[in-house]
Each structure stands twice: as C-alpha cells, then as structure tokens.
Amino acid sequence: IIAAFGEVLVGDQVVADVIEDRYGSPFEIVNEASVDRVVNIWNVQVCRRPMKTGASQIQKALSLPQAEITMRVAERQVNIPESERAKKPDFAIYLNDDHETHLVCGEAKLSSKWKSNKSDMKGRGANKNWIWPWRQIATYCAGTNTRYGCLVTPDELVVVRLYQNNGGYDSIFNLEYKAIPWENEGKGKLTVNLGLWAMAMMALNTGHRPIFPQADTLPI
C-alpha cells in the first residue's frame, strides 16, 4: 500500500474528519444493525476525507475523469441477473459519476455467527454458515463488476478480491481474502480503515477494478 499510494498518504492533505465520539452506546453490539451503525459512525467518518482527497489525486495521475467518491450505508441497490428484485449491500463505496460506479461492496456480520477462520466456528451447520457470507459478497461484486468487497464484524475487516477461474461466458468466481483485526493500530500497521481506503483507491483504476482471471491480477 505504501509503495502504491505513499505519495498520497504522506502529507497534511489526507486527514480524517471525525466529529462523533467513538465510545459508548453507539458502539454496543446487539445485532447486525449495530455493526452497520459502527461502520456509519466510525468508518465512514474516518475514511470520508482521505477517500475524497486520494481519489482526486489518483484520478488526476491516471488521467481519469474527476468524479466524487462516497461511502454509504444501506443505500445502494445492486441489480442481480435472474433475481426478482434488486439486492442491497450493507454498505458500498462508489463514484458519483454517470454510472454511479461501484468500487467496493460491503456486508456486516456478527462475530458470534461468522468468522473468517472456519475452524473458529462451532456447532451444527458451521461449514454451511461459513460459506454463505462469501457467496453473498461475491454476488454483489459480480453484479457490479468490481473485484473488491469486504465483510466487517466486531472483530475484523475481511477484504475480498474476486477472480474468474474459467473466463468464459458463465464465469465461475473464486475469491481471495485477508483478515484485518480491529485491534491493529499504529504506524506501519494494516488497520481496518486503511484497508477500506486502499481497496477504494485500487478500484479507481479502471484496469484493476473489473473481475479478471487470477493470472491477470497482481498478488493480493
């Protein structure tokens, strides 16, 4: 990330703009809506200005049209082929361009019900319960033709990248992922908010956003 975006990250322009208190009742986890609230109150605030500043610089460097980037919780619908109605990711990062281009699709889950490490899930149906969130985020990403998605829980942000494993008309999608614990903090650490920011910045590149075969993508 530093190698790719160091010039954007270093300096006084990329500053988080946080106005809400990040402690107390807004961050008590009761259900999945609680995780959505954490994303809306904390992650959106921390990432908003750095995303906008970074997007402007990267679009200019890549000679792309200038388009405002934004992050919204529970507001973006995705039209899925063969589905009777549009689906709605828990949150999305997208451009306010003519196509409202999706960059990153996100889902919120409870740590008590799902973990990225399958061996940490217990009880009957653990294998089935583990696979469904991956399928859910893959469906959103495929429907918007972005390779980047994520799953957020009270314990971790799991960044996801899709790739095609046959490249044909009826492509079968596989995914790669990296779990980032919420406890990560400090200089030189991959944090949850840096993970969100980096995915959005990578997805700005029109050559790095569509879903390609794995051989045509850089290592995650």
Distance CA 54, CA 31 (A): 33
Give the CA angle between residues 111, 114, 116 to the nearest 5°: 100
pLDDT digits (tens, 9 = 90+) for 34-50: 898 888 888 988 898 89
- The three-state secondary structure class of 20 is coil
pLDDT at 120 over 60: yes
pLDDT at 75 over 80: no
pLDDT at 167 over 90: no
pTM here is: 0.89
pLDDT at 207 over 70: yes
CA 197 to chain centre: 9
pLDDT at 220 over 90: no
Q: What six digits make up the tokens of 215?
A: 């051989």
129 falls in which pLDDT band (50, 70, 90)? confident
pLDDT at 30 over 90: no
H or E segment and range at residue 148: strand 148-152
55 falls in which pLDDT band (50, 70, 90)? very high
pLDDT (average), residues 1-6: 88
Distance CA 170, CA 164 (A): 10
